[in-house]
Amino acid sequence: MTTLLPPAGASLLVTVADTGATSTTVVDDDRSPDCLLLREPLATGGVPVAALPPGTRLLLTWTTGAGRHELDASVVEVRRDHVPLWHLAAPGPTRTSQLRRYARAADSLNGEITRGRDRWPAVVSDLSEGGARTLLKDATGLAADDTVLLYVTVEDQRLQLPGRLLPFAAAQVGRTEVRLEFQDIGRQADVIRRRVLELQIRARASRRRGAIA
């Protein structure tokens, strides 16, 4: 296995190994073969994360066209010059554990599907950069191939995600599952990617706790 460093400008999910606390950041510079400079990580709501002491163990997670990558790292120092930068040591190796076109994760977010002036309250039950699975109490008026917008709030940002409805069967009792294929969502994909990575890490941590118990 080799060390693949995330390139400058890449969005990362940062997990503190000992506590499981997560934050997001952007790579400022990759100093091959085994060093990284990160911009100051932000917690939920855009709050800067307090500087961690040298030696703190971290798990870095990011995605590329090849899949999802994980890399163990540790804090070397936190610089407080003009712009706060975290200097990390990341000797590797890098683990690539997801080779689908899009990483996805189970979710539960309240949202809304719109088509023109028509609106349908929805619960997002599965999310990826490529699309979403939603549950609707009443899907009357919707049909496969409809062009719609899915509104959902992630990381305190209200996303407006254009998409096309895939074929579905309206439920006679209970909720109807309606799937969307996103179309040109632009930089909103970065927000979804971070959300999916965070959910996947939480799910794995929960499974590990269950195995220990």
First to last CA, the chain: 32
* Domains identified in the chain and CATH numbers: 11-98 (2.30.110.70), 104-192 (2.40.10.220)
Closest CA to 71 of 25, 46, 103, 36: 36
pLDDT of residue 141: 92
- Residue numbers in the chain where pLDDT is lower than 70: 1-2, 31-33, 44-45, 64-67, 97-106, 170-173, 206-213
pLDDT of residue 99: 44
pTM above 0.75, yes or no: no
